[in-house]
Structure 1
Amino acid sequence: MNRTIYLSDLTHTTITISNDSFPLNVGMVGAYCKQFYPDLNMKLFKYPEKLISKINQNMPDLLGLSNYPWNHNLNISIARHVKSINKNVVIVFGGPYISYDNNQQEIFMTRYEGLVDFYCMFEGETSFKSLLDNAHQASFDISQMKKAQLEGCLFLSEDGSLAPFTPITRSRSVDDYPSPYTAGLFDEFFDGKLSPMLETHRGCPYACTFCHEGHEFYRKVSKFDNQRIKNDLDYIGERVGSKVANLMIADPNFGQFKSDIEFAEHINEVYDRYNYPSTIFASSAKNNQDNLLNISKILKNTAMPLWMSVQSMTE
């Protein structure tokens, strides 16, 4: 039996598109899981109206919602709508809008008991794949799924307490996770409204207390193969069209490595071919001014603002 799964990174669309990036998060998760479950009926969503319409036409076995401060209430509303129709649908949240503190996690899961069945922590590809394996073994029965040890997932035990957390191990190579672009998962999002997003490396060496990636889990920095990200940018350039000017880079420290200079040179080549991108949104490196200056000179046709992060001291 082929199961149906919807993965979403929703944005408010009432007045404007409040978060206009491609759904890179769920795209990466989906592309990874498709390797192991090629017959999975999986669809990605960015716009809530499209997700609601699809839910009303064909209820999924599992719904994944990427959770951030700007779309949390939207996610809860969608979860409530789904559960009001079919309480047996497995609803999985993921993303940074949850505390690392166990007590706060239990408060969150208790508050949304019956709406949020599981919360995938840290690297979503690995934790969601673990949950998906378990879901297939348990025939997508929520109570049966909770009887197993789920790596990297939060959930409530039968007695209503937070189940003991089973840590996950970070992948040795981020290239284990295939590109959602060249896999064709993002083709429908080239709609002239959304800005493509790329990730060239993952992890951050710093431990800023205000940042989600300040956790020790993310301390090791892993780089994607340079040819892979060049191929992704070529794929984007061929399809993006003239209405979108921006490229979003999801790295916490773009410009930290010499390979970033090489990628900047490729951005220039893509601009010469497709007149894209005109602007880049990226969190720039905190401790490599020389690289950033070189990149700013290379990107002569593309504007990239440089950002500063300030953390107060206790003394």
Structure 2
Amino acid sequence: MKSGIEKSTSFQKNPAANPFKVFLVELTHTFITVDAKNTPLAIGYLAGYLKKHLHSAVSVELFKYPRNLNDSLKAGCPEIIAFSNYMWNEELSCAFAKRVKEISPKTVVVFGGPNYPVDELEQMQYLSTHPEIDFYIEGEGEVAFYLLVDMLIRHKFEPDSKEYREIAGVHCNSQNHIFTNSPAKRISDIEDNIPSPYLDGLLDEFFDKNLTPLLQTSRGCPYSCTFCHDGATYSSKTCHFSVERVKAELQYVAQRTQVPSLTLADLNWGIFPQDLHIAHEIKKTQELHGWPLSIQTATDKNNKERIVEMSRVLGNAMIIGASIQSSDEDVLKNVKRQNIGYAAIVKMAKESSNTESVTFTEIILCLPGDTREKHMKAVFDMLDAGIQDINLYQYILLPGTEGATSESRKLFKYQTAYRVIPRCFGVYDILGKEIMVTEIHEVVVGNSTMPHEDYLECRRFDLTLMLFNNGQILDELYRSIAHLGINRSAVIAMVHRRATAVDSDLYDVYEAYREDEESNFWASKNELIHFLRHEGGYELYVSGDRGRNQLHYWKSVVIFSRLASLLDCAFSCVKEILIQKGLLNSVTTRYLDELAAFILLKKGDPTLIHESFTCEASFDFSALEKSAYAMNPFEEGENGKYRFRLAHREERKKNILAYFDQYGSDLRGLAHLTHRYPARILHREVELIGQN
């Protein structure tokens, strides 16, 4: 039995004249749009490790897009094809694997990735229902996959050999037996053992207008959240690549990328002191290449002082996270999570307000022990702490997590429903057959402490938060009224009552949102599949009438086509609160009226990127913008007349067009874009052009 990172000598001295062909596949759906928009870094690591140890004995090709994979398979199936298995591509990968087995039974099919049960019995059940899979690799893949490929070559691709059972992390799925074992020991020295797929040129073909470069500076997660794949003990130890390597990768990517942003695959960026040095390297890359415009990553939840310092370095390219998932101790205990203290979050938010970065937190609805009151309290706690964006998620039962086990289901009495994952469906030509593929996931919509009716009310409240808080849509308003002692939580509470009332201008949006949610959830997976295949349901998803991310889609509808109604609702609520506090006078009234008009021009229809707008005001919004509204406009008072131009600079136009190329500029595309990146990238800049 081989262990660790022992090298094979089978083909190093006498490499094969005709190398064995290996396809590494990390598919994304492309029928509606390119869904998973990051470069396939995971299979890049596999390819680099495989080539490092087997040299010219193997010929490795990487695939992201279904059409490219189909074209290559038509030209001839490889000896080995390996698929990365995620929630958003499982059915698509299985569809390809089944067709490969039909056309080329001798091709060995390998799967790996997190979308796999943790329970041994459930693993065996999974493999028995997927006979197209010969081997499944559990855990970190580089070592196990290399040892498997090496043994397959030496055994002339006969997948029934008993020796395969001895490779740590490799689960065997033969016609007669299914064998599982523990994952391979993780690589502790990733710097020396895993080559850079970027610097080796393995990912060059993926520098296109669709895919955002994905880099990794560290692996592992010390936290144990039950709703996350990386909450298992197996992933608890963290290790990192060197600053020098990351610097070299940044420079390599910056000279080739065609998209404005960067994604870091780290689970807790900022956990290591060296991450501050990496932030400085990213800043240098920005100054040299004008890239990246923004960075998407998960920051560490404990090292907030370091993360704030990183945000000072990177400015508005960085978003600072303080994810809590819940603020209730019982809920956190149920999911094995510990948050930093509330005081630390307040401190982080206050310090971050002096930088150009945006702060955010994440809250998951309907976790074990959650209630309507607890969910809303978590939101209000974060609003009052000064966190700007509050990203709201539903509790998705991910295979391979503790939260999705049968024990957790029984203990917390989950009520679940099934839905199609947004953008993850389509009809694909797979080796001469048109095959409909749909990815479906399971969502908790009630539990022992949260009845389904309360869940629905929380979802209505979440839409209010998305509309009236997230994306800095009203940031100027909230920062301004903070000078008068008005908290965002008070405004959101009143706005929710006002916006959801029957006589509200936005009532129809809430009703459409409710109906949209109801029509997209099904009591069972089989019922949903039957609807798609036999009741014309699939056409509804293709047309866009179904299958949307409801929160982000209806937010886009309002922000990009009903902004005036939103502003009217928010500003009227603020005026009512000021009346109650005896603070509404001629100055505050004029300021609020002018601010509403200013926001409408600054953030209205983002597709009009070449348009410029002018306005007049009694307050210097140019100075207020530069101070991030730290200036008190009510103390400054009215001071003559100011004229402003609101428009995009040429560089900003170029970046927005690149985002539109990547995501699209219709409502679905804008919803997807603003789900991934701060909406401020679409906001116009203000310029003072006159003063009387």
| Structure 1 equivalent of residue 374 of structure 2 | none
Deviations 1:32-77 (A, max 9, x none): 1101122111100110110011011121000010000100010011
| Structure 2 equivalent of residue 296 of structure 1 | 311
User: Counterparts of 1:257 and 1:55 in 2: how far apart (Å)?
Assistant: 43
> Residues 1-315 of structure 1 correspond to what in structure 2 (within 5 A)?
1-39=18-56, 40-113=58-131, 115-144=132-161, 148-156=165-173, 159-160=176-177, 162-175=178-191, 176-241=193-258, 244-300=259-315, 302-304=317-319, 306=321, 308-310=323-325, 312=331, 313-314=333-334
User: Counterparts of 1:156 and 1:253 in 2: how far apart (Å)?
Assistant: 35
Deviations 1:241-286 (A, max 9, x none): 3xx1111101110111211111011101001111111111101111
User: Counterparts of 1:133 and 1:307 in 2: how far apart (Å)?
Assistant: 44
Task: Tell me: CA distance 1:6–1:145, structure 2 relative to 1, closer, same or farther (3 Å).
Answer: farther
Distance apart, 1:305 and its partner CA: 5.1
User: Counterparts of 2:164 and 2:35 in 1: how far apart (Å)?
Assistant: 39
Task: Tell me: CA distance 1:35–1:14, structure 2 relative to 1, closer, same or farther (3 Å).
Answer: same
* Count of residue pairs the alignment pairs up: 311
User: Counterparts of 2:63 and 2:206 in 1: how far apart (Å)?
Assistant: 9
Q: Which 5+ residue runs of structure 2 have no aligned equivalent?
A: 1-17, 335-368, 370-692
Give SS of 1:119's match: strand
State which structure, 1 or 2, has the greater radius of gyration over its C-alpha atoms.
2
- Could you tell me whether the CA contact under 8 Å between 1:127 and 1:153 is conserved in 2? yes
Give SS of 1:16's match: coil
- Could you tell me whether the CA contact under 8 Å between 1:204 and 1:221 is conserved in 2? yes
User: Counterparts of 1:306 and 1:186 in 2: how far apart (Å)?
Assistant: 29
Distance apart, 1:309 and its partner CA: 4.0
User: Counterparts of 1:5 and 1:198 in 2: how far apart (Å)?
Assistant: 24
User: Counterparts of 1:166 and 1:208 in 2: how far apart (Å)?
Assistant: 21
One-letter amino acid of the counterpart of residue 204, structure 2: D
User: Counterparts of 2:33 and 2:179 in 1: how far apart (Å)?
Assistant: 40
Task: Tell me: CA distance 1:21–1:5, structure 2 relative to 1, closer, same or farther (3 Å).
Answer: same
One-letter amino acid of the counterpart of residue 120, structure 1: I
User: Counterparts of 2:172 and 2:95 in 1: how far apart (Å)?
Assistant: 19
Distance apart, 1:140 and its partner CA: 1.4
- Could you tell me whether the CA contact under 8 Å between 1:207 and 1:213 is conserved in 2? yes
- Could you tell me whether the CA contact under 8 Å between 1:29 and 1:124 is conserved in 2? yes
User: Counterparts of 1:116 and 1:61 in 2: how far apart (Å)?
Assistant: 14
| Structure 1 equivalent of residue 606 of structure 2 | none
| Structure 1 equivalent of residue 531 of structure 2 | none
Give SS of 1:239's match: coil
- Could you tell me whether the CA contact under 8 Å between 2:133 and 2:173 is conserved in 1? no
Deviations 1:73-105 (A, max 9, x none): 100110011111011100000100001110110
Percent identity, please.
Answer: 33
One-letter amino acid of the counterpart of residue 262, structure 1: H
Higher-RCO chain (CA-CA 8 Å, sequence separation at least 6) = 1
Distance apart, 1:119 and its partner CA: 0.7
One-letter amino acid of the counterpart of residue 279, structure 1: S
Deviations 1:148-171 (A, max 9, x none): 5222111235633x3141541112
The range that moved more, 20-29 or 36-45, is 36-45
User: Counterparts of 2:183 and 2:280 in 1: how far apart (Å)?
Assistant: 39
Distance apart, 1:145 and its partner CA: 6.5
One-letter amino acid of the counterpart of residue 52, structure 1: N
TM-score by length of 1: 0.95
- Could you tell me whether the CA contact under 8 Å between 1:280 and 1:305 is conserved in 2? no
One-letter amino acid of the counterpart of residue 313, structure 2: I
Task: Tell me: CA distance 1:301–1:274, structure 2 relative to 1, closer, same or farther (3 Å).
Answer: farther
CA RMSD of aligned residues (A): 1.6
Q: Which 5+ residue runs of structure 1 have no aligned equivalent?
A: none
Higher helix share: 2
User: Counterparts of 1:14 and 1:29 in 2: how far apart (Å)?
Assistant: 27
User: Counterparts of 2:319 and 2:291 in 1: how far apart (Å)?
Assistant: 13
Give SS of 2:251's match: helix
Task: Tell me: CA distance 1:310–1:171, structure 2 relative to 1, closer, same or farther (3 Å).
Answer: same
Task: Tell me: CA distance 1:11–1:232, structure 2 relative to 1, closer, same or farther (3 Å).
Answer: same
Give SS of 2:23's match: strand
